[in-house]
């Protein structure tokens, strides 16, 4: 997955993402196949080194947000 999308978090737009975040949460559809194209890089338990968010956790079970184009204001 990281080979496709790199390590830029799709939730906050900063680099350093370590988790694969499912666009459709596993808790919503546990039967979905493990498809790298259905995942995006996101910051996990260690949080973002730039903004400190734990993006993968903070999003919870909400559906995927529109992909941020920039995070310059953050
Ligand atoms: Zn992030
Ligand atoms: Zn960030």
Q: What does the domain layout of the chain look like in residue ranges?
A: 1-25
Question: Residue 27: what pLDDT?
Answer: 79
Distance 69 CA to ligand 2 centre (A): 13
Distance 30 CA to ligand 2 centre (A): 28
CA triple 7-35-31, angle to 5 deg: 130
The pLDDT tens digits of the residues spanning 5-16 come to: 999 999 999 999
Distance 16 CA to ligand 2 centre (A): 8
Summary mean pLDDT of the chain:
82
- Rounded to two decimals, the pTM is 0.67
The pLDDT tens digits of the residues spanning 43-58 come to: 998 899 999 999 987 6
Distance 11 CA to ligand 1 centre (A): 5
Ligand nearest to the CA of 9: 1
How would you classify residue 73: left for phi > 0, otherwise alpha for psi between -120 and 50, otherwise beta?
alpha
Residue 51: CB partners within 8 Å, gap ≥ 6? 12, 14, 71, 74
For the chain, how long is the longest CA-to-CA vector?
38
């Amino acid at each position: 997955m990281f080979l496709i999308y790199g390590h830029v978090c799709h939730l906050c737009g900063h680099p350093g993402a370590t988790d694969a975040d499912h666009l459709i949460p596993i808790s919503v559809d546990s039967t979905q196949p493990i498809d790298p194209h259905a995942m995006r890089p996101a910051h996990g338990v260690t949080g973002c080194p730039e903004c400190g968010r734990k993006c993968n956790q903070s999003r919870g079970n909400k559906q995927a947000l529109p992909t941020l184009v920039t995070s310059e204001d953050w």
